[in-house]
Structure 1
Amino acid sequence: MRRLVDIRPQRASRLLLGALPIVALLLVYLLASEARHAANPADKVLPTFAAMAQAAHDFTTQRDPATDRILLVADTLASLYRLGIGLAIATATALILGLLLGTVPLARALLGPMVAIIAVIPPVAVLPILFIVLGLDEASKIALIAIGIAPFMTRDLTGFVTGLPAEQFAKAQTLGANSWQLAIRVALPQLMPRLIEALRLSMGPAWVFLIAAEAVASDVGLGYRIFLVRRYFAMDIILPYVAWISLLAILADALLMAISRRGFPWAHGAGR
């Protein structure tokens, strides 16, 4: 008899197994929604799929008076702009610091404790400080995302670089490599797949920080729209928006994975 841990589903089986819980969840929601609306047609807690479809039609056709764009388009573009800039700043910062702290022990001794302290501070707790210092415009929202994920990524990349075999650095130094060349020629090529992986793991927290910032001070954005309509208990809008955010996150994760597999196949076991 085969052990459970030895069963490895094929691709088609994996897709089917992965779809089953999702279909089951949708079926449970459908039954619960229909039951609540049968008892109370005005129920807003569990809107029907028809109500959510109508709401989705409205916010994909109506225009935002402030931007003259379709509501969903305006919200999506605003949120993706903030998210993209924040992630870019955090990624660049983590890459530079990760290389520096990982390859230079003196820098690790000097800056490592500060990075560790910043990493344990709840980012949302500093949001009021960011609003006071940077104002209520885009800078504070972008800064929250960058501050929220850069320390985690930095610590992860630093740990990866310090874990590289010491023989690689010793051989490079024997061939005359200086500190800069050790970082760029030895550590950086091996670090890139890890950087993408750290960015993938940071996408979830980045969305949380973005929505939190938009909910507090914004006039456009996915998080702003969700918190705007919650006062009306408009679950028929909130749930499609949450589903849209999830879809964007899934697409971003798939894109990063594709980049990693295409650019660094050796890091994914290619050829083994």
Structure 2
Amino acid sequence: MRKVINFQPQPMSRVLLGALPLLALALFYLIASDARLAANSADKLLPGLDAMRAAVDRMAFTPSPRTGEYLLWTDTAASLLRLLTGALLSAVTALLLGLFCGALPSVRAVLSPLVTLVALVPPLAILPILFICFGLGELSKVMLIIIGITPFLIRDLQMQVMAIPHEQLVKAQTLGGHSGQILVRVILPQLLPRLLDALRLSLGAAWLFLIAAEAIAATEGLGYRIFLMRRYMAMDVILPYVAWITLLAFLLDWLLRMLSRRCFPWYYAK
């Protein structure tokens, strides 16, 4: 049994093992799709590969007759702009508040209860309030992402600061460091890689809030298109869009991981 718990797959083996569930899922879908289409060639629930390939060509490589735009790329650009704007503003806000709440007890006493309270509010429950306050434009969608993930980031960074060994702070003060130097030169460098990790973990929630906002009030975007196609049961469009969102989320996660490893190699050498 010790061999099992200590077994470490090689990099190539790890890739193959990770691909097995995906291949099994794809095989299951193909079998189920063939069975449904054999029983009813007009079935829309599980479209075949040819139907989805035609839908991708129509959405991504054929101009829209009405607008002349390539809809998949237009939707992708709109959604990514909203997502990245919300994530960037959330990261900056969380870094500042997490740093000060974690390092300064007086700030923590004032702001920590408020952050905890906001974190307990379901973001989708206040979506109508955001639409009323900020309108149906881009601001309300970005604000939903910010309100949805910022409290989580703040609390995670605050706990990370509070977990820093107190001996480091004592040594810095012994060497003559004042509060500002300790914040910038001792605590902040240890906080930045954790911020990227926390941002990676919150991307799934950010996509959820984005798609929910686009489904209710938008004229373009990946979430808007999926819910528009739902009216026509166009699963040949919906499934590729879902797969595309999954691929984008994977790429963003990978980019953040590579950025963290490149900028903070010492963090992964522990």
SS of the residue 2:258 aligns to: helix
Do 1:64 and 1:74's aligned partners in 2 also have CA atoms closer than 8 Å? no
Letter in 2 for 1:4: V
SS of the residue 1:3 aligns to: helix
CA distance in 2, matches of 1:169, 1:246: 42
Aligned partner of 1:139 in structure 2 is 139
1:67–1:144 Cα change, 3 Å: farther
Aligned partner of 1:16 in structure 2 is 16
Shift of 1:64: 4.6
Do 1:67 and 1:74's aligned partners in 2 also have CA atoms closer than 8 Å? no
1:122 equivalenced with 2:122 (yes/no) = yes
Shift of 1:67: 6.0
CA distance in 2, matches of 1:216, 1:65: 24
SS of the residue 1:75 aligns to: helix
Letter in 2 for 1:51: A
Identity %: 57
SS of the residue 2:231 aligns to: helix
1:67–1:210 Cα change, 3 Å: farther
Q: TM-score, normalised by structure 2?
A: 0.97
Letter in 2 for 1:85: T
Aligned partner of 2:199 in structure 1 is 199
1:219 equivalenced with 2:219 (yes/no) = yes
1:158 equivalenced with 2:158 (yes/no) = yes
1:93–1:64 Cα change, 3 Å: farther
Letter in 2 for 1:75: D
Aligned partner of 1:27 in structure 2 is 27
Q: TM-score, normalised by structure 1?
A: 0.96
CA distance in 1, matches of 2:187, 2:151: 19
CA distance in 1, matches of 2:86, 2:57: 31
CA distance in 1, matches of 2:113, 2:82: 29
Shift of 1:7: 1.6
Shift of 1:180: 1.6
RMSD of aligned alpha carbons: 1.3
Shift of 1:63: 2.9
Aligned partner of 1:61 in structure 2 is 61
Aligned partner of 1:237 in structure 2 is 237
CA distance in 2, matches of 1:228, 1:22: 28
What does the per-residue CA deviation read over 1:180-237, in whole Å, with 9 as the maximum and x for residues that have no partner? 2111111000111100000000100000000000000000000000000001111110
Aligned partner of 2:49 in structure 1 is 49
Gaps of 5+ in 2: none
Q: In terms of mean alpha carbon deviation, does 177-186 or 75-84 score higher? A: 177-186
Do 1:148 and 1:209's aligned partners in 2 also have CA atoms closer than 8 Å? yes
Shift of 1:61: 2.1
SS of the residue 2:8 aligns to: coil
Gaps of 5+ in 1: none
Aligned partner of 1:178 in structure 2 is 178
CA distance in 2, matches of 1:91, 1:59: 33
Aligned partner of 1:104 in structure 2 is 104
CA distance in 1, matches of 2:240, 2:80: 17
1:2–1:172 Cα change, 3 Å: closer
1:36–1:187 Cα change, 3 Å: same
Do 1:61 and 1:70's aligned partners in 2 also have CA atoms closer than 8 Å? yes
Letter in 1 for 2:247: L
Aligned residues: 270
CA distance in 2, matches of 1:234, 1:111: 47
What does the per-residue CA deviation read over 1:1-56, in whole Å, with 9 as the maximum and x for residues that have no partner? 75321221101111111111111110110000000000011111111111111101
Aligned partner of 1:250 in structure 2 is 250
Aligned partner of 2:73 in structure 1 is 73
Do 1:91 and 1:199's aligned partners in 2 also have CA atoms closer than 8 Å? yes
